[in-house]
Each structure stands twice: as C-alpha cells, then as structure tokens.
Chains A and B, each alone.
Chain A
Amino acid sequence: QVTLKESGPGILQPSQTLSLTCTFSGFSLSTYGMGVGWIRQPSGKGLEWLANIWWDDDKYYNPSLKNRLTISKDTSNNQAFLKITNVDTADTATYYCARIETSDYPYWGQGVMVTVSS
C-alpha cells in the first residue's frame, strides 16, 4: 500500500526558508523508475507543479520560482524534501507530495498547509 504524508512548519515569516518533508511508504526511491513530485495549491485556486526527483537523483524544477527551490531525498528513511527560499505571502498554499509514474501522479499525500505571514 502506497502512502505519502507531508509535514512542514505551518506558519513562517516572509524571507524565511520553507522546509517540507514527504514521508512515504509502499515504495522506495532507490527503485528504478520511482520518483516523487511536489505540487502546491493556494486556497481556492489551481494546482502548480513545483519539482520532481527520481530514483537516480535526476531533478526538475519549475523555473517560475526562479531558483528558489531545492528538492532532495533520503532513500534510507523513505523521505523526500523540498526547500523554498525567501518566501513571501504568494507562497501561502497547501503543499502536496505525490509519487510519480511516468509523468502522472497516482498517489498523493493529504497535503500540508503553509502560511507565510508577518
């Protein structure tokens, strides 16, 4: 059974760095073809793809976030991470991690809400 769960700080101030963790089970990020992605959704709005990481440590980022993103993984502990530097109120959203299959996301976490506020 594949499960994913996101965790994060809940609230942080503008200019800080947002650190998110995705803890998963039912698959390994050291297995050929496996990957995890991060997607976010401001309240009441649409979905925005942020980044993907694969078993071989290949990574892709959304350039609209202008090099503020870093995705990484810890295969030993079945975790993936996303850091967003220099956050502002526009980064307030629910953040999801999801398992990748080819370019699709059949398994999602429940999401974690992040609020950026001074």
Chain B
Amino acid sequence: DIQMTQSPASLSASLGETISIECRASEDIYSNLAWYQQKSGKSPQLLIYAANRLQDGVPSRFSGSGSGTQYSLKISGMQPEDEGDYFCLQGSKFPLTFGSGTKLEIK
C-alpha cells in the first residue's frame, strides 16, 4: 500500500496568514493527489484534485502543488471559514489511502 505522511498534525494560524500543509507519498503517485476539507460534523469537501486543479466553487486562496512523492496545499490568507480538518488522498494505486489529517485552527 502507498503510505501518505501528512504534516503538520495541527496548525494554528492568524487571519490573513498564509499556511501550507504537506503530504508525502511512499512512492511516486504521479500527481494523483487530492485535498479535502472537513468542517466539524460535516462531510469532506473536495478542494483540489490532480495535485493542483481547483475544484469548482472553491475559493482561489486555496492552491495545490507538487509532483512525484511530495505535495502541498496552500491557503493564501487564512479566513475564519477555513477552520477544519484537511486530508490528502492518493488516487494513484489501490487501495486508495488518506493522509492522517491536519487540524487547522484560528489563532
């Protein structure tokens, strides 16, 4: 199985701050990487797919980058509604595997 190592586990950011979350795959996943946001008590929401493609309706302050085994999600200008948990998901090879998650809070 492909292991997804996500960091940090938690993050506290001020409003307007730019933050990054990383996912490292145990092998090349050829940009088959998606990022999801999950707010408390809600279902996950797709933010980024194919490593850097913004899902329709997602604010442009979210961006994704990376290739090979290293990927990152950036939020350019933290907003109150960005609080929540963030997960990466590799879709390169079955079984699909998620990162362990990052809890993002407002400082």
Residues of A bordering B, CB below 8 Å: 39, 46-49, 52, 60-64, 96, 101-106, 108-111
Contacts and interface: CB of A to CB of B under 8 A. Distances in A.
B43 A106 contact: no
B24 to A, nearest CB: 16
Given A103-B32, A106-B46, A111-B43, A47 B98 contact: yes
- What 10 pairs between A and B have smallest CB-CB spacing? A103-B91, A108-B43, A49-B96, A62-B95, A104-B49, A47-B98, A106-B46, A104-B34, A60-B94, A46-B101
19 contacts: A39-B44, A46-B98, A46-B100, A47-B87, A49-B97, A61-B95, A62-B95, A96-B44, A102-B50, A102-B91, A103-B92, A104-B46, A104-B89, A105-B44, A105-B89, A108-B43, A108-B44, A108-B45, A111-B43
Contacts of A61: 95
Contact of A105 (B46, B92, B94, B101): B46
Q: Is chain B's interface secondary structure helix, strand, loop, or mixed overall?
A: loop
Contacts, number: 57
Contact of B43 (A46, A62, A110): A110
Interface residues of B, number: 23
B46 A47 contact: no
B91 A106 contact: no
Nearest to B99: A46
Contacts of A101: 49
A96 B43 contact: yes
A64 B43 CA distance: 23
Contacts of A52: 96
A47 B95 contact: no
B95 to A, nearest CB: 4
A46 B32 contact: no
